[in-house]
Amino acid sequence: MQKKPSENVKAEWLDDEDDVPFGDPPRMYNYKCKNCGFMSDINEAHIDVAYAWTKKRTTCQDGEVVPVLECPDCGKIAFVCAD
DSSP 15: T
Quote the least distance from Cβ 9 to Zn ion, whole Å.
Answer: 23
Handedness of CA 32, 76, 54, 10 (dihedral sign): positive
Nearest residue (CB) to Zn ion, 9 versus 36: 36
Quote the least distance from Cβ 56 to Zn ion, whole Å.
Answer: 14
Quote the least distance from Cβ 23 to Zn ion, whole Å.
Answer: 33
Q: How far apart are CA 60 and CA 30, in angstroms?
A: 9
Q: Which residues form the interface with Zn ion (CB under 5 A)?
A: 33, 35-36, 38, 71, 73-74
